[in-house]
Structure 1
Amino acid sequence: MFFAFARMLLRFLFRVEVRGSMTAHDRLLVIANHQSFLDVVLMAAYLPVKPVWMVHTSIAAKWYFKPVLALMPHVVADTTKPMAMKMLVHMVESGTPVLIFPEGRITTTGSMMKIYDGPAFLAARTGAQIVVVHIDGAVYSKLSRMRGGFPRRWFPRIRVTIHEPRIIAMPVGRTPRIRRRLAAEQMRRMLQEAAAISHPSRNIFEAFLDAMEIHGRGRGLVEGLDYKEQTFGELLKTSLAIGRMVSKLSAEGETVGVLMPTVGTTLALMLGMFAFRRVPAMLNYTAGSDAMNSACRAANVRTVLTSRAFLERGRLTTAAEKLTGVRVVCLEDLKPQFGIKDKLWVAWAMMFPRQAGRLAKPEDPAAILFTSGSESKPKGVVLSHASILSNVAQLLAVIDCTSADKILNALPLFHSFGFTIGAVLPAVSGCRVVFYPTPLHYRVIPEMIYDRNCTIMFATNTFLGNYARFGHPYDFRRVRLVGSGAEKLTDDVRTAFFDKFGIRVIEGYGATECSPVIAVNSPMAWRAGSVGEAVPGLECRIEPVPGVGEGGILHVRGPNVMLGYMREEKPGVIDPPSSVFGPGWYNTGDVVNIDADGFLHILGRMRRFAKVSGEMVSLEVSERIASSASAGILHAASSRTEPGRGESIVLFTEDKTLTRERLLQAGRDLGAPEVAIPRKVVVLEKIPLLGNGKKDYVALDAMAKTAN
């Protein structure tokens, strides 16, 4: 009777939603994340079976827990003591269901805390069926332990997700301590995976509205160079207004090009397009007009939205004029067309934003990013709302990022990291973000971090190296998390950040096709020299490569993988991912080794690309530039890693008169990006060739490493 009344009361006050079910097993262990003092009552009220709650002695001693304990079956134990563990083992083996919170305490970060060895060893020792229950929303209640401006209220919406049972086999280890630790790591990954896949099915605009409901319309979200902070409500108003104007220029479901910098207006434009079911194609304005035209053709873009002020300040007016077959519309020209009817509509839409737009389904295309502005024919990567939000959920399951944090995002929004992690994540999580239009201002950005009290930043290895070089040791005083991706983190950059700022840089790995994060180190699971564990819910398989002793080509499949490619040969047609392992698998093209603990180590790339300043550059494009500058002469491009700079392109040529200035001019004539211009030119008497007449790139790569 008590539990029935508790269910009714919880459903009325907290609008509790329960997903999944469970059945009784001979040996059953229920584990859950711990968000608030409500968690035990939720478990007792909604679990189909009535487990015995394992209560730590320190909790049972508190007087205010005694009324709850009187109503629930429980056992008081200290999991650090052997006799207590033996008692719990006996209970599970005798068929008594047991409920444990493996974190041992209520979260104070909003994310999962560390996992203790005892519950995991209990599961491995008994071979019990483990049912993971994920609680979401209780952390926002007044009964949580979150403080410091965290958005708590009396009756937040709560979701409880019950997952399918799993088993932890007893790990192999030399000592019991090692076996317990390995079992705890397995349990941690189970809880993280449950957190990653338990998020509700919705589109990005709905996720933004959910975040606004939690944090409030008056909560600040976006800052720019002008020190003005846009609130959730102001961003919603701007996005609805821009979205309405864009809807008059395009049809529902149409792909619209976006040529905009990293500013709050661009985020509002993206949200407005999501609200009206338009698909933004984020054009790489550093790639040159030729690549942008190819991108527009591949994605079947008929209209490109930009800003006249941006074109003038970025010296992109000529590049925009060279766009063919599309209509270029400046946002400044739309403002005079915004009449009284539009203003009245926005006033109504602000009251009912969920009914205002033409909301997309989660599996519909959300955005199109492009693999490389350096290729003559870039491929469009079509990401769905579900894939982008899944990647955000995967990252938040392993990295704690709360409303108390402030991210500095200087990466362009056509970059997958800048798009998902630097724009979508703040919009749907409530974490504040400071936008800066370029990552190249190496002296200004450390000052911005200091001045705006940023706590999180991420960049490529090349950019981080320059920030460490020009930044003051006190600039990063508030920063607690620095992430590196898009290119390998070098030892000199890692050491520079630790020695100068006292910060351990966390390296990750991703691909645009995966929205983009594939793997990441975290404070809870970190290994130097690796790119971390695969994000929760992502499957990894290795394709052996002849001649490679360890590892092979990495293939991945999961909820964050793209819908497919769009190519210029078939404009607007989505080609779903597929690999040797079957449909849905994406071939990364990277040679990877996965160690015994699940950490990924990047060994190299199979494709002839170089990552220069975080951008993928085709070495074939560099050779084509050389051929244009010096026709009829043999050229070959390779790459090498330079300390503090990352990868750079080395051009081998038989032309003794070829200079970098001629290459720059040829690149401009071809509409190629500047990052594709070789940094160093090496003259050889003869380019080494294989027996079949092809260039010997193995020999050239070795020569590039030692070229002066």
Structure 2
Amino acid sequence: MIFSLLATRRFAPLFWSQFFSAFNENLVRNMLAMIILFKVGAENAGPLVTLALAAFILPSLVLSGLGGQLADSNDKARVARWLKLAEVGVQGVAAAGYWYNSIVALYAALFLLGLIATLYTPIKYGILPDHLKREELTAGNALVEGAGFVAILLGLAAGGLTGLEGISRPMVVTELGVVAVLCLVSTWFIPAAPSSVPNLRIGRNLIGSTFALIGDLRRDRRMWVGGLGSSWFWLSGSVSLVLVPVVVKQRIGAGVEVETAISLFFAVGVGIGSLLAGWLSRGRIVLSHAAWSVAAMGVFLLDAGWSTGTAGAAHGTLSLPDFLRSASGLRLVFDLMGLACAGGLFSVPVFSAVQSWAAPERRARVVAGVGVLNAVFMIIGATATAALQAPWIAVPNPVLLVLLGAANLAAAVYFHRNLPDPAAAAADYDPTAAAVRPGE
């Protein structure tokens, strides 16, 4: 079922649209980082690079409510086409920023890409239950999540290559244009998904409507706990990807190629976990293993923190082959891939359940609400981590991994007690909304 979906028009165009979108967002973000680090030579490179992430996330805290309302009140496929058409113009801003080494233009492009992503997210997840049968929903989410992480990795790698000598400006500008066109073309083939509430009024208070989405989630305990589950995955994953590369550099002495491989291992692990979740579902939405997956995340984090914490400071730089031949390197790779795989096993069925529980006329706004919660959790995780790393506290990074592992064990207990029974995932699901259209 998982791979047969890629041959259907009701899923394949959306799959490739979100894949190229995720690739593009991370390409531009890392392109900006490379210009800051190597071409502009800014003294405050660290804060400027962090600001790039903030520029991308900020629109989700303001415009998620608008995104959910637009998706619920219009044909989702049509809105997606207009957004990707606008992205072609934004790509022109990014190309100009790269050509002229303008970090202002690249910040503007990244902010606009974050805005488009905010409006697009309720569409790409809200439209899945419209085009997929219920027994296909977990498999569809598995493909979207797994491929999304691979696209992020490839985008970051492509953005990093723009800082290398020998990479010409016309080549990079052409790449930006090709990716934008691929996003647009793939989106154009998404089948129509008419609105269930075409008379829905768009709220004028953008910030109020965005945070009202969280209030709406809280009114349905199932969706609130499911939204917390999705957000916990993003918090754990984002903090881990901040801590692990630093720990590897400090305790093992990893070189640039090892740092790149760390992201690869994580992306592959999430992909494996996501596909495994789709395979285990066998046409159902299975939540029975969700809490155990969070517990496994905690165990892998505890082991990663313990193994690096007991190692001394690194001396010299370790190449990738030497890293993979060392016992400490293999142990860390095992922990990281185990963490990512368990995360995929947890996040895919939980988010699939939220999609299936949401009423068709509110589904996009529910997805947008979960997106707001994800952003809030990632900001909380990043802020707390930065505070604990500050010089006046200076908690060692391996200890932070242990603390995150312990927090995951506590979260596993919470989700074990509060996630609904797997059979409840079928409640309130509208089978007519997921009917397969003739000829698709």
Q: TM-score, normalised by structure 2?
A: 0.29
Higher helix share: 2
Higher relative contact order (CA 8 A, sep 6+): 2
Rg larger for: 1
